[in-house]
């Protein structure tokens, strides 16, 4: 019986999960090889409403000056995308003020019904901007590679959204993390989140999995991820901190791959 189980696992890896025998170091080497050939490029696509969108993508060593510069260039887009989501967390769970949003605590001293939400939004925007423009050498080492994709309106060149894919030696072969995925409020509902996530399959076709998280209070994002083929990822779920994790597996869904087929170079 044990022999049968072992043979079954071998066949599973060969036929369904061809990347499972490859190591983490091989994945990093593969990404570095791609990066050495082309470090940036342009993609074109239509959003869900038929509007033309340009996707600018970049490979970065997260400790490079170029990475720090481009992160500053997208900080306003990230701020616009995340301010409402983070304030929603505070409104629905004011107990989170104690360990996550101390910088807002004084605004709640007279009760949530008396909070000046304009000031709260301004403070939240400053906080998010500071996080995006942080000195990344304090949290990352040289083994981290970032693939950054920025969505622009093709005609006006307005930034519409951004996704950051992170790859490091701790990940299994074919996996990428998504620390940042954000769409500005006025561009939401146009399928840009799905478009940005699917772009990784155009840039690195050998990707096998995408791991990300969102706020437990962000029902719109949670429903979208599930509709796009994501499943629960307990390792990135932390209810106490207000996070729920999801993963996308190419052997379980092809929704994002099919969307990527509609993106052109």
Residues 6+ apart with CB under 8 A from 207: 174, 175, 176, 200, 201, 250
Distance CA 155, CA 39 (A): 24
> HSE on the CB side for 97, CA within 13 Å?
16
Task: Please give the pLDDT value at position 25.
Answer: 87
Q: Is 4 left (phi over 0), alpha (psi -120 to 50) or beta?
A: alpha
Distance CA 175, CA 22 (A): 12
Residues 6+ apart with CB under 8 A from 58: 39, 40, 70, 146, 147, 148, 149
Name the 3-class secondary structure at 245. strand
For the 26-260 domain, the top CATH level (class) is: alpha beta
CA dihedral 78, 83, 86, 88 (to 10 degrees): -140
Q: H or E stretch including 45?
A: strand 40-46
Q: Is 3 left (phi over 0), alpha (psi -120 to 50) or beta?
A: alpha
Distance CA 229, CA 37 (A): 31
Low-confidence residues of the chain, pLDDT below 50?
1-19
Burial annotation 97-130 (CB, 10 A radius, 16+ → b, else e): beebbeebeebbeeeeeebeeeebeebbbebbbe
Angle at 113 between CA 110 and CA 115, to 5 degrees: 65
Task: Please give the pLDDT value at position 12.
Answer: 38
Name the 3-class secondary structure at 70. helix
- Global pTM reads 0.90
Provide DSSP, 125-140. HHHHHHHHTS-GGGT-
């Amino acid at each position: 019986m044990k022999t049968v189980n072992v043979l079954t696992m071998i066949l599973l890896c060969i036929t369904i999960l061809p990347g499972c025998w490859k190591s983490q170091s091989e994945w990093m080497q593969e990404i570095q090889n791609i990066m050495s050939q082309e470090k940036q490029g342009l993609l074109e696509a239509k959003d869900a409403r038929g509007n033309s969108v340009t996707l600018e993508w970049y490979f970065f060593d997260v400790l490079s000056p170029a990475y720090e510069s481009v992160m500053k260039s997208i900080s306003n887009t990230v701020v616009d995308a995340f301010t409402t989501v983070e304030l929603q967390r505070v409104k629905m769970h004011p107990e989170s003020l104690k360990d996550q949003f101390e910088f807002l605590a004084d605004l709640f001293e007279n009760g949530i019904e008396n909070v000046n939400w304009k000031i709260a939004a301004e403070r939240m925007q400053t906080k998010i901007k500071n996080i995006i423009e942080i000195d990344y050498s304090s949290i990352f080492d040289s083994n981290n590679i970032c693939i950054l994709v920025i969505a622009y309106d093709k005609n006006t060149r307005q930034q519409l959204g951004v996704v950051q894919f992170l790859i490091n030696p701790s990940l299994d072969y074919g996996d990428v993390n998504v620390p940042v995925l954000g769409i500005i409020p006025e561009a939401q509902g146009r399928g840009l989140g799905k478009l940005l996530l699917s772009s990784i399959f155009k840039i690195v076709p050998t990707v096998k999995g995408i791991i990300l998280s969102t706020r437990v209070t962000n029902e719109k994002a949670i429903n979208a991820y599930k509709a796009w083929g994501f499943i629960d990822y307990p390792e990135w779920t932390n209810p106490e901190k207000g996070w729920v994790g999801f993963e996308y597996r190419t052997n379980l869904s092809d929704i994002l791959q099919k969307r990527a087929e509609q993106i052109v170079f």
